Amino acid sequence: MKAHIIEQMMEEGNGILRLAPAWVPRAFCRPGRRIRLHPDDYYAYGLTRGGIDERWFASTTHAENGPLTPEDEGLSYAVTADGSGRALLRDAVAHLKGALIGEALYAKYGGWPVYSKFFDNLGPLPHHVHHNDAYAAMTGQKGKPEMYFFPAQMNNYGGEFPFTFFGVNPGVTREQVKQALADFPKGDNKLLDLSRAYKLTVDTGWDVPPGILHAPGSLCTYEPQFASDVFAMYQSLLYFDHAVPEELLWKDTPPERVGDLDHLMNVLDWDLNADPDFYQNRFMNPKPVKPMEEMRAEGYIDEWICYKCVKASAKRLTVLPGQTVVIKDAAAYGIYMLEGHGKFGVWDIESPTMIRFGKLTHDEYFISEDAAKAGVTITNPSSADPIVMLKHFAENPDLKL
């Protein structure tokens, strides 16, 4: 562990760490090319690994991405101001403990328990599920609640299918879903015939607890989630005839349960999947943290955008043109810059138009709990453009469900 570098970075950032981009490829996906990576770099890992369609933020979670996955894939690196030194954010948390993420959070989890990411797919993903804590524990993992938000700045076009399937239609039986799983090796198992799609709208979001079948659409999606990469794909054939390997049906299934369709069915939270009020219970519009007129008068707009899960949440902060504000939060968090440029504490911040693979940026930072509570001074020097950033939290006591 590079303890001296970690301490240097904390000192030079006044408790705020600069993070390097963490790019993740997926062999079963096609890049949507909206995450600001240079057009020549989407296959920087090679064709065998697949195209880069994800960027992970404030991540101490390794990407579970097959046997060719490097040890640090998906992990965020903190870097010094001049870019010459770096250390894994995971190592920084292990060294600084509560001094970085907060004593209560470290005592509860022993580490940073969330991350966020963009997933940026040209087409839809298969109908799949993330396990809850009990089923994830069978393979030594944690359960994975997650939430979605679709930033307008990252969605100049909608891709091939900007609709997401969730759950199953009311009246669908467990036997019908089980038969679809049995039909997985035969071709199209027609699982989506049992579900319904919802049109995706920019600058809105969805709450997706563990156990819910979901087939994400083709908008570029910001996704705060618990620190786990556990999943299983239940749909065999995507639109446009893209086949899903059968081994992904049994991903994160204990070896002794492979072939057991009842196990796959038990992973599903049936009540949530069949909820007739799914839209009302899971859809999220942004919620201002206090009256909009009051915030505008103070030079900013702060909104909850992912707020139906206590374990992972997010805000969107807008600093209006020409304004300097001090923003306080009750918990440590990571940020990603969507729009604009300026100062964030001692750091420069900017939203790059294009990023070369392997190069550093000034668009991502991690804010310690002490710095968050003390307040970060943010200056927007532009007379025309706002600063817009996304802020991802673990358990933020300011969030009231």
- pLDDT 10s digits, 180-227: 999 999 999 999 999 999 999 999 999 999 999 999 999 999 999 999
Q: How confident is the model over 292-308, as pLDDT tens digits? A: 999 999 999 999 999 99
CATH no., domain 287-393: 2.60.120.10
Radius of gyration of the chain (CA): 21
Say what the pLDDT of residue 247 is.
Answer: 94
Checking phi first, is residue 202 left (phi over 0); if not, alpha (psi -120 to 50) or beta? beta
Q: How confident is the model over 257-300, as pLDDT tens digits? A: 999 999 999 999 999 999 999 999 999 999 999 999 999 999 99
Instruction: For residue 318, give the nearest of 225, 224, 382 by alpha carbon.
Output: 382
- CB–CB of 15/370 below 8 Å? yes
Say what the pLDDT of residue 1 is.
Answer: 61
Q: Is the pLDDT of residue 238 over 70?
A: yes
CA distance linking residue 362 with residue 351, whole number of Å: 7
Which stretch of DSSP H or E encloses residue 137? none
Q: Is the pLDDT of residue 3 over 80?
A: yes
Quickly list DSSP for 229-270: ---EE--SB-GGGPBPPGGGTTTT--GGGTT-HHHHHHHS-H
Show Cβ contacts of residue 1 under 8 Å, excluding neighbours closer than 6 positions.
Answer: 87, 91, 94, 95
Domain 3-284 in this protein, CATH class: mainly beta
What integer is the mean pLDDT of 88-114?
Answer: 97
Q: How confident is the model over 57-83, as pLDDT tens digits? A: 999 999 988 889 999 999 999 999 999
What integer is the mean pLDDT of 173-184?
Answer: 98
Checking phi first, is residue 197 left (phi over 0); if not, alpha (psi -120 to 50) or beta? beta
* Domain spans, the chain: 3-284, 287-393
Residue type, 395: E
CA distance linking residue 310 with residue 212, whole number of Å: 17
CA distance linking residue 62 with residue 78, whole number of Å: 15
Residues in the chain: 401
Mean pLDDT, the chain, integer = 96
CA dihedral of 25, 28, 32, 38, whole degrees rounded to 10: 30
Q: Is the pLDDT of residue 401 over 80?
A: no
Q: Is the pLDDT of residue 115 over 80?
A: yes
List the beta bridge partners of residue 303.
288, 316
Q: Do domains 3-284 and 287-393 have the same CATH topology?
A: yes
pTM of the entire predicted model: 0.96
